[in-house]
Structures are given as structure tokens and as C-alpha cells.
Structure 1
Amino acid sequence: MTIQGANVTELIEALRTPSADEGTGAVTIGMAVSRVDGRDKVTGQARYAAEYTAEGLLYGVVVSGTIPRGRITAIRADAALAVGGVLEVITHLNRPRIRSFDIFYKDMTAPGGSPFRPLYDDKIAYSGQPVALVVADTFEAARYAARLVEVDYEVEPHATSLAENRERSYTPSRMKAGFTPPPKPKGHADEVWEKATVKIEGEYYSGVEHHNPMEMFASTVIRDADGHLTIYDKTQSSQNSRWYVSHVFGLGKDKVTVRNPYVGGAFGSGLRPQYQLPLAVLAALKLERSVRVVLTRQQMFTFGHRPETLQRVRLAAEADGTLTSIIHEAVAETSRMEDYVEVVVNWSGELYACEHVRLGYHLVDLDHASPMDMRAPGAAHGVYALEVAMDELSYALKMDPLALRLKNYADIDPSRGLPYSTKELRACYQQGAERFGWDKRPLEPGTMREGRELIGWGMATGMWDAMQMFARASAVLHADGSLVVSSAATDIGTGTYTAMSIIAADALGLPLEQVRFQLGDSTLPVAPIEGGSSHVATVGSAVQGVCEKLQRKLFKLAKKLPSSPLAKARFDDIEFSGGALRVSSQPGVAVAITEILAGSGEQRLEEKYLMLPNMLKQMKYQRSTHSAVFCEVRVDPEFGTVRVTRVVSAIAAGRIINAKTARSQIIGGVVWGIGQALHEETLCDHRLGRFMNHSLGEYHVSVNADIHNIDVIFVQEDDRIVSRIGAKGVGEIGLVGVAAAVSNAIYHATGKRVRSTPITPDKLMQ
């Protein structure tokens, strides 16, 4: 399947009337269903955070600092205040009172330490941090005036190079929730490695990457006459942003509502509130007006990023390929303010069976903004290094890379000795290799060529956690047979609206057009942050639970109807289909849902459900998603250019709710993985302590011309340990392993091993 030109194709597809199996009529879990929100998105009916307005709306433009470390000695704003329409220039000297910034940072999205506080004091912690907010009655006036604000600094020495500061690395002690430190050493990894006859050692470097979602970060704060704030925020959790605003500014819960019905991409950048949110609220409180603050594309590079990481991997094996030692150590950057941590090396103790394992993880604090989660945080780097090292070991053994992985296949979790809730990785290997044609791959590198291009085939394994949190859902079934299900979930473009609608429609046997799922509002039933590929397993289970409560209520009402055909039926004998309750063995014996409500005199049925993970049960298992990625590249040895011409990604991620959007998620992950391998890196001028290529013109991402055939296979898997609906998650797993597969394919094509990403032409031509 080619996705070249996919944007136009998807627009046309979303606009046309969907067929019965693509978004209308009866649906069941696993079908390929078009997005229920697709038409609103492509026709402009969907509104994003910066597209809401209010009478008298003001516009805020951020003034960014220009030094990496020091303090502000003076701010001259007279010229800006003289611009027509400018109401205020807010700085740390005149901002409204803030109750606390620290109290918010106790939740799961924040690292340990003291968070960055916008406009809090005169200290400069990193280049680009906000130092002022110009507020005007037009955006143009605010933008122009922001250029007139002059700031003087006292500059202090800074450090922004990971390599130059590696010697002062330390073991993180303040742990972010969700971070699992590397386990204690198992066996005698160093001794075994030293004595091994077949062993490899490599250092692997991954540069800084920045999020570049199409929707820029924005907050529109609409202030009502009574002081209530309705905030439209670019966030992965409306309730997280609401909690933040309430606690930072000392506002009651009833004084703040946050909404994010549509989010134009995030994948980690919206897990914690970014600085435009407190700045917009500051301005709204100070001026008692509605305010909008939108960050520029350049300012999108001034908060968080995937951290720069250096890794060292040593592997040893017997002559038959049996792994005898795994040593994996990583040093990653964090900020001076917070210990941002990722699970980078732990995967090396979990992917393959090995008796001797030692893992290490250290941080170096630099004068950058705190790094933050970015699609498959930790695994994107850690699995990359491990899987390239495994490829290197396969050549040292003169062994097929896939055969090496199968030789060391782990049937139980090697790190804790736990069984897997489900693990169909072996099937991923088998089906992916067969689809790709891996059996035709020559072992020696540099042996396939077509014209001037060298051809290479590489593969890698992917792994990600299968997580579940807690959530609530409510449901209202109306007399006309329509169903409204609600939860404060988020859809960052991954298809949450559609997946939840499918689960509800499948549970009650309703046509999809009769189901509406409400999300993106902090007043709705509690839902977790959308992150870690846990949303479907979590919120989807809550939706299933509340619909099952409606099922039982409907069944009781149906039995009480006069002359009910279901009077003697048992609940276990009933199926919900075609908008009716039917006896499974006698489909003709049925009662329509609308008849049940009419006959019972009910205008609506309501239910609520709290979904709590069964932690006692889940902790007895290793819960993960898995993948096998096979890749073909073509390399021009004279120019050092690489084309990824073919990718097969075989995924085991539990029960797939919507085959169409799930497939799109994997395709998106593969595209991002290709970008990680070949294109994406933010470069810092360490003399200035500043990221330099802070625009889409200079920060390279994969474009349509870079992407060719991507084939996605979903291996059958149903995991009732992870979730009651059998689903795991597909957001992260599509990315993990892709960069390694590309790197390994490049080596197979050229015989040149590049151990750093991105693999740019200059590295191949050296």
C-alpha cells in the first residue's frame, strides 16, 4: 500500500458517504470504520483551541528570551505600550498573584524537581523561555508590539552539550510516576562478556527531536461576567489542564472549565500544560477580559523535546547464537530544573532470554527546557540501540538476523520471570517475514543492486507496555433508540471518537449513526490523560462497562413487558443486534429497544460506570505489545541518499477495535520512525546554547516523497488481562523498531554501520 499523496486521498474518502461497513449501519468491533468526526474535520466544522472567540477577545503574544542562562536586569516596554490597541505588557514584575506552581507537579506527567514557572521571577533557565506577554485588542498589534519589548540580561555560563558534560552524569533519585528504574544486575554480565568468543560492542547516539504537531499550542480563555473561565486548550487531558489552572491560581473547581474537543496532534507534547496556558490565564485574570495566546512555530521549539541520548551496548553469544551477556548503559539529558527520566535500557532485559544482564541509566542536567514524552518515549531510543546491536551480533555470528532473534525468543518475561498476558511476537516474525519475502535475503551485505542504487533488507523487533488506568463513563439511552456516552477522554487524532462509538454500538447492537460519544470536556466523567497507548484499553473498558449495565437494565424491562417474548429468557441467552434484544438461538424472537422504552414508559435510561484495573491480577503478568518490522532501502552510494522503498510491520496489540484507524496509527508510526532514522534532529549551537533549526523549513520531517510502500499486518490477539475488551494499544508500537530496521537495512545495502540517528548523507559518505 502506498501512502504517497495520502492527504488528498483521505480527504476525498472522508467527504464521501460511507458504505455500510465504513461508518454507518451495523458495526462490530474489529471492522474498518471511517472516522465519525472525519467530515467535521475536513469541512472545517471542527474547531481547535485557537478558533473559539468571544466578545472583546484580547490577543497575547509571547516575548521569548535570548540567552540560555542568567537573569533579567531590565525590561523596557514603553515602546510596546505606545502601540495603538496594546493594553498591557505582563512580566514577572507586574503579573497577578500565583498561589503555587509546584502543587500541580505531583501528577503522572511531571518529572521530579521544580518545574519551569513562566514569568515567575528574573531567572533565565534556557534560551527561548517566555519573558513577557504583550496583550492587545488585535493579534497584529500584539505581534508588532512584542518586537519592541527590550530585555537586558546578566549572562551566566551555560552548558548544553551532552557529550562535553557526560563525566558529571548522575543516577536520578527523584522518580517520575510510571518510571521503572533498571533492575539490579542479573548474573555476571561483565565477566561473561569479557570471556566470550563472539561479542560486539557499540556506542549509539540519538539527537534531539522536537514535536511538530500541525496544531500549534494555543489557549483561549473566555471569561464570563461572573468570573468563570471557559478555556479551550491544546492538551491531552482537559481535566489535567483544569486541575492545573485551579491549583496554580487558587480558583475553585466550579470557576474553571477546560475543553479540548479536537486536538490537532500531540503524541506527548500535550501531556503536561505548556506555558501558553498559564500566560493566557494570567492575562485574563489581570485584565478581566477574554484572552487568546497562540505560540509561533518557532516557540514550539522552546518547551520540551525527545532528549539527546548516548548509549553503549555490549552483547555476547555462543557460536549457535545463544545470548550469554547483555550490557546496556544510557546517558540522557535533563534540565537543571527537573529529573526527566525515561525507560531506555529496561527493554534490553525484557526482549530476549539471557542469564547475564546489566543495565544502567544516568542523567546529565543541561541548560535546556525539560525534555518530555515523545511517541514511544524511552523505547524509541533504547530499542533502537539494542536492535542495531543485535544486527551487529548476527553478522559476527554469520547468522540470519531473524534466526538470531528466534533463537533467543523469551516465552516468559526474562526480567521478572512472569508469564505474558498474551504474546504473539513469534507470529509477527512469521507473518511479517513471509509477507516481506525475507527468505530470499542474502546474508552478505552489499550484494543486491539495481542500477546505481544498492539495496538492503533489515529487520527489528518492537516492544511497548500494555497499560490500563482508571476511568468513568456515563451513558444515556433515549426513547428514540439514540445513545449518548460520555467521558472526559481525548482524541489527538488517533480515532478515540470512533473507537468508543464502535464499542458502544457493538455492545447495544445499534447502528453507528445512533451513537454519539462525548469527550474533551473537564466536566465529563473522569478519564486519564491520553498517553502511553492506554486510552482504548482504559476508556474503552469503561464504555463497555456502562453499556453492559444498560444491557441488563433493558433486559429487565423487556421481561416485564406484557406478553413479552423474552419473559422466560435468560440474560446469557440474549444478544443485542439490529437495535433489538434477540434470543441467540432464535433470532426471530426479539424486542426492539425503542419498544422496550415505549412499553415501559421510559423516556431515557441512564447509567454510570467506574472502571478500575484489576491490579492484583494484572501484576501477575508481563503486559506488552510487540512488533516485527521488515524494511527495504535503496542507497545511492555516491550521494549518500537513502530511500525506504518498502516496510512490512506486523503488530500484536491485542484486539483491534477499528481496523481502519488502527492501521493508520501504525502507518503514522512507521513514517515517524523513518523520520527518526533519516531526517529528524534539532541542532544546538552550544556557543549560544540555542536550538538553531527551529522551523519546519529547517527541521526535516518525512514528506510524501520519502514514503513508499507500507504494509501493516495485525496478528490475531485477544488480551483479557490487559482490558475487558481484549484491546491493548497501537499508538506507540508502530514507531518502535522502525529506525533500527532502517539502520540495519542500510548496513545490509552498504556494509557501512552508522550508529547515530538521523543517518544523513554526510555520515554515509564519510
Structure 2
Amino acid sequence: MTTTAKPDAVGVARTRIEGRDKVTGAARYASEIPFTELAHGWLVLSTIARGRIRAIDDAAVRALPGVLTVLHHGNAPRIKDDVIGALGRPDPIVEVFQHDRVPHAGWPVALVVAGTSEQAREAAEALVVTYDEEPHDVSFDADKEGAYVPQDAETVKGDVEAELAASTVVLDAAYTTPEQHHSAMEPHAVTVRWDGGRLEVFDSNQGSKWVADDLANLFSLDLSAVRVRSEHVGGAFGSKGLRSHHVAAVMAATELQRPVRIALTRRQVFAITGYRSPTAQRVRLGADADGRLRAFAHENRSMTSTLREFVEGSAGFGRTMYDSVAHHSVDRVVPADVGTPTWMRAPGEAPGSFAVESAMDELAEKLGMDPIALRVRNEPTAGPISGLPFSSRNLLACFEEGARRFGWADRDPRPRVRREGNRLIGTGVAACTFPSGAAPSTASVTAEPDGTFTVRITAADVGTGARTALTVLAADALDTAPERVHVRIADSDFGAAWVAGGSMGTRSWGWAVMAAARDLREQLTLRGTEIPAAGVTVTTNTAELIAQLAQKERYAFGAQFAEVAVDVTTGEVRVTRLLGVFAAGRIVNPLTARSQLVGGMTWGLSMALHEEAVRDETFGSHVGADFAGYHFAANADVPVIEADWVPDEDPDDPVGIKGVGEIGIVGTAAAIANAVWHATGSRQRHLPIRPDRVLLAEADRAGHDA
């Protein structure tokens, strides 16, 4: 068989393959797929923050119109409580209806299933649950007792205290970030049915095989007995793994022997699908007069639940960024009566970069140095802690190109010198980085008799354009046109594959697809015959190939530049310019890559100025757990954002992709906070930078000047 000569595939801007279906409504999401005899479930969440269920009066609810069943700890099936999946132990909230304990507000205590969603909701709201309440604690601050250091959460090199004492200039500052939520456009939803003795799950998730295997293990089923599909996902950002609604839906579908759908409300999403923990961070830097770092110390404290330890590893950010004689970084966690935090876009790096990059700016001010020059002075030649060589590290080129485009050389470094009416104008900069890993994945590529190719891989396209990128990579490896390649994803039957997370998805899947495609080309060359009706298929797993990556440190890098206008009468901060320049390896599709970078930077702006989840300490639940009460950046808040990249090739990397899904958010908040200092002369060390905080800083300045 001969393939059709292709135009260039990789590096050419291409619209999403499924884009037309999405904008016309033809693409169906998890809560939109039609089923015969579909029943609807509605979760009932606890209204107390800690205690036990005394009673659930379900008799009256069962008699309501359309109600099919009510599940709770008194009648639900038992599931395993010791499951360890591909990404570790599932969030303990999946162990629903197994006991009468309530460990935090919003804990699922019952599921009402009815013929329509309206009937289910009405019945769920009528269900009477009584509790025996216990004292609870949902507070978090830098000095709260009970904090401890998790395993492998501390790194030490040299004597930080001695180097601080020997430093010419020392900075010691505290920074905080609030609890934040994923807020994906599509709320979590799942539909479950039994078909021929097999459990079929139609879901919105970040890894269908991951969810399928965890469900199989929880319900003591053979792995082959569960199939999970997640064709289209309207955003995830770390929150869409196995959750309580999956388990509850399986229980109900098993009892009723009919399809059951559970679609969470926005308030329920806030309560039971994870979040980014608040952080309290302390950064201490010591430097010689020329800006050379002698000491780098970063202490981070975050909140975890009493159910399971989760670490927001913010202290890890500096372990890759800056060289210093001595280094000490440590993450501590403090348990509270709250739901378990989880991964959220750029976990650790997003809040960690705010503290470190703000501190570097403050140190530059103390030294009288340009902030970029300080970073250049402390650029490492190898991993500052590991000593391993970098696969590639083109951060300085990002600063050079970004400074040129942003006009950094014309910047007056003095704060509070540019004014336009009531608005003070300032600019700021920050560095960013994110790991570039890969995980074993399985891909199959089939040569079809009609001259096309079919790729099958359990990838998840959560809005990143992964489906399109994989099509391009397959076409390149097959030496054919992308239009002749059909990529099927998000079906657990396609085998094990990494999830859409850690900026490793397209990199891991792409490697598997490329390897399978190249093997198929070799087979087709050897065959020299027509393709049989069943096609010719090659399946490849990259587990053995990935071992070679451990010999180097692999990261993407970037430089963020921000300009702000601060209204000193209202305290409002407006970002007027935002530029990010990145060294992110091989860019497969410039169109969707830029979209990811701009999206991440938008989130960084939102993190800097808006996002802040607040808990009512009396009741333990969130205040304003919806899009009215939890504000994030809308179109009117966002200027035209520029995102671009510099060449960043690694000849030793067989795939070359570094991932761009998360690095865009890293450093953005710090660049904006640094710009606010340049505008006003006051440091904002606590996010978000609300108007009241700006006005308070202005009042303090006025009082000090008086």
C-alpha cells in the first residue's frame, strides 16, 4: 500500500476537528446523551460540618410522584474501602452511603432517584435528615496548630541560616493565596447502565480507563466488565476524576436495572469535587550585593482534610528555578473538617510562583537591581537540587524576547511615577516553569482498506485540542495528510493511557501514537500487498521507552509581563497588557497551543484579582458557592493577551512536546502583583488583590507620609 503525500502537518495552525460539532450543538456531553427509560438521581448533601446521621425519614419521599428509590447508608450496597488506583487512593468521598459519619459540610448522605430530574430534585429537597452534630473546625491560617510535614515534602541543601547571616541583603516576607475552585463550564455529570452484564458509563472525565478501573475495583468487578466513555468534556482542570456521583449512579442503576443519570448542580460541584487549598507561604532570600543568591528558603502551609492527606506542593517551585548556595523548601499541611483538596490547574506551581516571584521582585528592589537582571544572575546551569542537566532550558530567551516586545528597556524602575488621571500605571515581570513528564500509554493505529487510518487511544480532550493534535502527530508519523487520519479517544476499551493532567496528556499520548504509527508504516512497507478487509493494526505501549526520560530534568519555562492601571480612588486594578513568552518544546498546533497559553494567563489574571472561595466557619459550608458569589475574570476583565514562544528543541527527546496546558497560569499572578507595586509603591502579598486591600495600602501610605 502507498500513502498519499502529505503537506506539513506539525506546526501548522488547524481548527479543532470537533469544533463544528461543538458550536452547532451536535456534540453530546455526558448529561445530553439520550437513553430509553432513563432515570434521574439527585444527591442529598449534609447540612452540618461534622457529626453523625441520626435518621433519614425516606418513607414520605418514596411515596412522592415519580420516585423510584432512595439510597443511603442504611440500604446501599457495600463497596471496597481499600482501593488503590492508577493515581493512588480515590478521594474518600467516593465511599458514599457506607456509614453514618459526616466528616464535612456537603458530604453526600442520600440519593433520590425518580423518573425526571425535576421529580428527583423536589423529592431530594423534601427528604428529612436529622443529625447529631459535633464541634468542627474549618479555619485555616499560617499559625494554626496541628501542621505536619508529609513524607518527601522537604528538601535541604547546605545551611540556610548560616547563609542568611552571611548575606548582604535579606528578604523575609509572607504571602497567602485563598481557596480556589475549578469552575469548569460543564458541571460534573454521569450516566450509567448495565448492558449484557457489562457496566457502561457515559461520563465527563479526564481519563476513562482511570475511572473504569477504579469503579471496577470499588464494586469488585473484573476490569473488563466496566466500560467508560467520555467523548466530549467541557473543562476539567483537575477536578474530573472518580467522584461520589459515579458511585451513587452505579448503585442506583444496579438496583433499578435501568439507566441512571446524575448531573450535579453548580453548588454541589463546589461542595464535593475538590478545590485548590488555601496557602500561607514564607519566603526568605539572602543575596550578596551583586544579587547572587546565598540562601533560598520557602515554607508553605496548606489545608488538607481529616479523610485523606493532600499536599498543595507550592514549595517545590523554587527547586528548579534558582541556584543558591543553600536551599530549604518544605510543604506542611494542617487537617480540617473540610472536603479533600485536589489537583487544580498547575497544582503547587500556581500559588508557589506567586510567593517566590513576588519575593524575587522585592529582593530586586532591595538590591536596586532590575528584576530581570536578578533572575538572569541566578540562572542555574543544571538542576539546583538534583544536579541533573536540563533537557533544554531557554528561559533567558523568553526574557529577552518578552522584554523586547513589552518595551521593558524604557521602563522607569521607580514606583508611582506614571499617572493617567486617577490611575497609577505600573509594569511587572515574573518567571514561570512547569514539569514536562510522560507516562506509559497504549495506542493502536489501523490501516483501513480505503486508504485511511484509524487511531484509538484512551486520551481525553478536555478542551485542549488534544484530538486535533493527535491527528496531526499521527499524520506526520504515517507520512500522510491529516484528513486521512481518524482519531477515536476517551473509551476505556482502548487500553491504559495517561490522564489529561500534569501537562502530560498530549505528550504521553502523542508518543504512543507516533510509535504505533511508525511501526505500522514499517509493517506496510514489508507487506507490499493490499490491505485486508479487517485492516492492519499495530498496538504499542510506551512503558519501556519512557525510562530514558529520567536522565535529565525536563521542564517548560516562560516569562510573564504585565501592565496594570490602579484607580487610587476606588482601589480597582485593571490589567491593561499581558504578554507571555514561553519555551515549551515542539508546538504541534499553534492555534490551540496559543489558546491554551492565553487561557492559562487569563486564569492567572483571575487568580490575581478575583478568585476567592470563603467558608462560613459557623456552618462549615461555602458562602456564595455559585458563579454569582465566586467571581472569576469575565471578558470585560481581560485585555488582549499575547502569548508566544521561542525555539526550544531537545534533540534527545523522541517526542519533543512539553505541554502548554498549565504553564500559562504560572507566574501570571506574581507579574500582576509586581506591576501593582510598581504602580502604587505598595506590596500586595495576599491574593486576590481586592479594591479594599488596595485602598488600605493607600491609606497606610498616606498615614505614613503624614
Mark yes or no: TM-score above 0.5: yes
Relative to the length of structure 1, the TM-score reads: 0.88
Question: Residue 730 of structure 1 corresponds to which residue in structure 2?
Answer: 660
5 Å-filtered alignment, 1:343-422, equals 343-422=313-392
One-letter identity of the residue aligned with 1:548? R
What secondary structure does 1:293 align onto? strand
5 Å-filtered alignment, 1:432-443, equals 432-443=402-413
User: Where do 5+ consecutive residues of structure 1 fail to align?
Assistant: 1-23, 174-179, 559-595
One-letter identity of the residue aligned with 2:154? P
Question: Residue 540 of structure 1 corresponds to which residue in structure 2?
Answer: 510
Cα drift, residue 274 of structure 1:
1.2
The yes-or-no answer on 1:182 pairing with 2:161 is no
For 1:639 and 1:190, locate their aligned partners in 2 and report how far apart those are by CA, in whole Å.
42
Contact 2:78 2:98 (8 Å CA) reproduced: no
Cα drift, residue 460 of structure 1:
0.3
Question: Residue 518 of structure 1 corresponds to which residue in structure 2?
Answer: 488
For 2:409 and 2:366, locate their aligned partners in 1 and report how far apart those are by CA, in whole Å.
20
For 2:386 and 2:223, locate their aligned partners in 1 and report how far apart those are by CA, in whole Å.
42
For 2:557 and 2:636, locate their aligned partners in 1 and report how far apart those are by CA, in whole Å.
29
Residue from 403, 420, 423 that aligns with 2:393 = 423
Residue from 594, 606, 610 that aligns with 1:675 = 606
Question: Residue 294 of structure 1 corresponds to which residue in structure 2?
Answer: 263
Contact 1:189 1:325 (8 Å CA) reproduced: yes
The yes-or-no answer on 1:108 pairing with 2:87 is yes
For 1:699 and 1:79, locate their aligned partners in 2 and report how far apart those are by CA, in whole Å.
36
One-letter identity of the residue aligned with 2:498? P
Aligned residues: 691
Contact 1:675 1:701 (8 Å CA) reproduced: yes
User: Where do 5+ consecutive residues of structure 2 fail to align?
Assistant: 697-706
Cα drift, residue 53 of structure 1:
2.4
Residue from 661, 664, 681 that aligns with 1:751 = 681
Question: Residue 462 of structure 1 corresponds to which residue in structure 2?
Answer: 432
For 2:544 and 2:407, locate their aligned partners in 1 and report how far apart those are by CA, in whole Å.
41
Question: Residue 50 of structure 2 corresponds to which residue in structure 1?
Answer: 69
What secondary structure does 1:523 align onto? helix
Contact 1:115 1:338 (8 Å CA) reproduced: no
Question: Residue 176 of structure 1 corresponds to which residue in structure 2?
Answer: none
For 2:228 and 2:328, locate their aligned partners in 1 and report how far apart those are by CA, in whole Å.
45
Report which stretch shifted further, 118-127 or 157-166. 157-166
Cα drift, residue 181 of structure 1:
2.6
For 2:383 and 2:68, locate their aligned partners in 1 and report how far apart those are by CA, in whole Å.
61
One-letter identity of the residue aligned with 1:102? D
What secondary structure does 1:51 align onto? coil
Residue from 17, 23, 26 that aligns with 2:7 = 26
Report which stretch shifted further, 370-379 or 499-508. 499-508
For 1:700 and 1:73, locate their aligned partners in 2 and report how far apart those are by CA, in whole Å.
37
For 2:476 and 2:670, locate their aligned partners in 1 and report how far apart those are by CA, in whole Å.
38
Cα drift, residue 511 of structure 1:
2.2
Residue from 234, 252, 260 that aligns with 1:264 = 234
What secondary structure does 2:597 align onto? helix
What secondary structure does 1:102 align onto? coil
Question: Residue 122 of structure 1 corresponds to which residue in structure 2?
Answer: 100
Contact 1:165 1:364 (8 Å CA) reproduced: no
What secondary structure does 2:104 align onto? coil
For 2:449 and 2:169, locate their aligned partners in 1 and report how far apart those are by CA, in whole Å.
71
Question: Residue 219 of structure 1 corresponds to which residue in structure 2?
Answer: 190
For 2:346 and 2:319, locate their aligned partners in 1 and report how far apart those are by CA, in whole Å.
17
Cα 1:415/1:614, change in 2 over 3 Å: farther
For 2:197 and 2:624, locate their aligned partners in 1 and report how far apart those are by CA, in whole Å.
41
Question: Residue 491 of structure 1 corresponds to which residue in structure 2?
Answer: 461
Deviations 1:297-316 (A, max 9, x none): 00001121100110011111
One-letter identity of the residue aligned with 2:693? K
What secondary structure does 1:456 align onto? strand
One-letter identity of the residue aligned with 2:657? A
Cα drift, residue 347 of structure 1:
2.0
Question: Residue 589 of structure 1 corresponds to which residue in structure 2?
Answer: none
Contact 2:364 2:371 (8 Å CA) reproduced: yes
One-letter identity of the residue aligned with 1:269? S
Cα drift, residue 342 of structure 1:
3.2
Cα drift, residue 720 of structure 1:
4.7
For 1:679 and 1:392, locate their aligned partners in 2 and report how far apart those are by CA, in whole Å.
23
5 Å-filtered alignment, 1:488-637, equals 488-558=458-528, 597=530, 604-612=535-543, 614=545, 616-637=547-568
Deviations 1:291-331 (A, max 9, x none): 00111000001121100110011111111111111111011
Question: Residue 702 of structure 2 corresponds to which residue in structure 1?
Answer: none
Question: Residue 118 of structure 2 corresponds to which residue in structure 1?
Answer: 140
Residue from 61, 83, 93 that aligns with 1:80 = 61
Question: Residue 704 of structure 2 corresponds to which residue in structure 1?
Answer: none
5 Å-filtered alignment, 1:131-170, equals 131-163=109-141, 166-170=144-148
Deviations 1:4-63 (A, max 9, x none): xxxxxxxxxxxxxxxxxxxx9834211111101101111111111111222111100011
Question: Residue 569 of structure 2 corresponds to which residue in structure 1?
Answer: 638
What secondary structure does 1:386 align onto? helix
Report which stretch shifted further, 283-292 or 248-257. 248-257
What secondary structure does 2:601 align onto? helix
For 1:618 and 1:140, locate their aligned partners in 2 and report how far apart those are by CA, in whole Å.
52
For 2:450 and 2:87, locate their aligned partners in 1 and report how far apart those are by CA, in whole Å.
41
One-letter identity of the residue aligned with 1:462? C
5 Å-filtered alignment, 1:169-318, equals 169-173=147-151, 181-183=153-155, 185-224=156-195, 226-270=196-240, 272-303=241-272, 304-318=274-288
Cα drift, residue 557 of structure 1:
3.9
Contact 1:229 1:255 (8 Å CA) reproduced: yes
Question: Residue 47 of structure 1 corresponds to which residue in structure 2?
Answer: 28
Residue from 83, 89, 101 that aligns with 2:70 = 89
Cα drift, residue 194 of structure 1:
3.1
For 2:24 and 2:174, locate their aligned partners in 1 and report how far apart those are by CA, in whole Å.
49
Contact 1:468 1:613 (8 Å CA) reproduced: no
Cα drift, residue 508 of structure 1:
2.1
One-letter identity of the residue aligned with 2:504? S
For 1:319 and 1:616, locate their aligned partners in 2 and report how far apart those are by CA, in whole Å.
43
Q: RMSD across aligned C-alpha pairs, in angstroms?
A: 1.7
For 1:264 and 1:556, locate their aligned partners in 2 and report how far apart those are by CA, in whole Å.
43
Deviations 1:221-265 (A, max 9, x none): 1222x3322111121111111112111112223332110011110
Contact 2:93 2:107 (8 Å CA) reproduced: no
Deviations 1:417-470 (A, max 9, x none): 111011111111111111111111111111112222111100000011110100
For 2:427 and 2:216, locate their aligned partners in 1 and report how far apart those are by CA, in whole Å.
53
Cα drift, residue 370 of structure 1:
0.3
What secondary structure does 1:147 align onto? helix
Cα drift, residue 603 of structure 1:
6.7
Contact 1:314 1:328 (8 Å CA) reproduced: yes
Cα 1:619/1:255, change in 2 over 3 Å: closer
What secondary structure does 1:548 align onto? helix
Contact 1:208 1:681 (8 Å CA) reproduced: yes
Question: Residue 341 of structure 1 corresponds to which residue in structure 2?
Answer: 311
Cα drift, residue 290 of structure 1:
1.1
Cα drift, residue 512 of structure 1:
1.9
For 2:546 and 2:285, locate their aligned partners in 1 and report how far apart those are by CA, in whole Å.
35
For 1:460 and 1:37, locate their aligned partners in 2 and report how far apart those are by CA, in whole Å.
35
For 1:479 and 1:611, locate their aligned partners in 2 and report how far apart those are by CA, in whole Å.
27
One-letter identity of the residue aligned with 1:65? S
For 2:94 and 2:210, locate their aligned partners in 1 and report how far apart those are by CA, in whole Å.
17
For 1:469 and 1:92, locate their aligned partners in 2 and report how far apart those are by CA, in whole Å.
38
